[in-house]
């Protein structure tokens, strides 16, 4: 069987979260995403313009450690110098930082932090995508 044509890329991610409002605030107020659609009080769809992040409220007994594992999600930065600006901004906003800013062997520059739901977020300048 022949493989179908290539996809248009990965532009959608869905996360189940315990505290929907705190996680939504992080992605809207700090990361600059906007609400695309809120079908009900337990679901919200966010966008940066070319992507879609769905946040779904978990059941009362939801524990992330007992569900599907996601290593991290990344936000692409178009200018290598802005990675440090983002690091300072999120640090000053009280976001839990997991690493310092680092330049990688491939020319990428990034750091990792945590969103309020406990997900690891990478802010990265990656030359092929920037």
Give the CA angle between residues 107, 49, 126 to the nearest 5°. Answer: 5
- Any idea what the CATH number is for the domain that residue 5 is in? 3.10.180.10
Say if residue 80 is exposed, middle or buried (CB neighbours under 10 Å; 0-12, 13-18, 19+). middle
Integer Cα distance of 70 and 67 in angstroms: 9
Tens digit of each residue's pLDDT (9 = 90 or more) over 8-35: 888 999 999 989 999 999 999 999 999 9
Tens digit of each residue's pLDDT (9 = 90 or more) over 86-96: 999 999 999 99
- Domain count of the chain? 2
The predicted pLDDT at position 22 comes to 96
Backbone angles phi, psi at 29, to 5 degrees: -75, -30
Q: Which domain holds residue 35?
A: 1-60
């Amino acid at each position: 069987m022949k493989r179908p044509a290539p996809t248009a890329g990965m532009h959608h991610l869905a996360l189940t979260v315990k505290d929907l409002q705190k996680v939504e605030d992080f992605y809207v107020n700090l990361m600059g995403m906007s609400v695309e659609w809120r079908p009900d009080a337990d679901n919200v769809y966010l966008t940066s313009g070319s992507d879609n992040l769905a946040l779904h409220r978990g059941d009362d007994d939801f524990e992330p450690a007992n569900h599907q594992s996601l290593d991290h999600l990344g936000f692409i930065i178009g200018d290598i110098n802005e990675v440090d600006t983002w690091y300072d901004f999120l640090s000053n906003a009280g976001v839990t930082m997991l690493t310092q800013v680092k330049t990688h062997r491939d020319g990428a520059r990034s750091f990792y932090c945590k969103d309020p739901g406990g997900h690891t977020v990478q802010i990265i300048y990656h030359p092929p995508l920037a």
